[in-house]
């Protein structure tokens, strides 16, 4: 196989894995019981899903101009997703939209 074909196959694998993780993230956002749990789904599998999709796209396109943009998208995704999740989580907590029956411990309430 030529290096190009190998990269294409790796791209296929990355794109599929990224798509599946994004699907799992969507299911998690839908199924988890409260906002804070949903934010877990919106950060971890979602971020890795996007990174894998970007990796797949990069392996397929293989041009420097696109790679620069892809790296930027990845870096901003890593930097912004936790911040967005924290802002939503904090707002949800302050608005009392937390299911206390599902919390074993809440040290923030004791503050």
Partner 1 sequence: MTAPGTEPPARRTRTGRWRDQLIAYGWLVLAWNLFWGEFTWGNLLGGLLTAGVVLLFFPLPPVTFHGRLRLRGLLVFGSRFVVELVRASAHVARIAVQPGYTPRSAIIGVRLRLPTDLNLALTAEVLSLVPGTLIVEVDRDAGILYVHVLDVRGPAALATSRAQVHALERRIVEVIGSNAELRQVRTGPVDKEFP
Q: Which residues bind partner 1 (CB under 8 A)?
A: 21, 24-25, 27-28, 31-33, 36-37, 39-41, 43-45, 47-49, 64-66, 68-69, 71-72, 78-79, 81-83, 85-86, 89-90, 93, 102-109, 111
Provide the terminal-to-terminal Cα distance of the chain, rounded to the nearest Å.
Answer: 62
18: phi > 0 → left, psi -120 to 50 → alpha, else beta; which?
A: alpha
Tokens at 104, concatenated:
């074993």
Q: Which is nearer to partner 1, 49 or 56 (CB)?
A: 49
Beta carbon of residue 77, minimum distance to partner 1 (angstroms, whole number): 10
Q: Which is nearer to partner 1, 6 or 75 (CB)?
A: 75
């Amino acid at each position: 196989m030529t290096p190009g074909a190998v990269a294409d196959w790796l791209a296929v694998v990355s794109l599929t894995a990224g798509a599946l993780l994004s699907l799992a993230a969507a299911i998690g956002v839908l199924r988890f019981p409260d906002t804070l749990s949903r934010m877990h789904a919106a950060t971890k599998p979602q971020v890795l899903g996007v990174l894998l999709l970007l990796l797949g796209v990069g392996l397929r396109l293989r041009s420097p101009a696109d790679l620069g943009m892809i790296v930027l998208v990845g870096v901003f995704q890593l930097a912004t997703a936790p911040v967005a999740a924290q802002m939503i989580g904090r707002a949800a907590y302050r608005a009392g939209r937390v299911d206390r029956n599902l919390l074993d411990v809440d040290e923030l309430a004791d503050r």
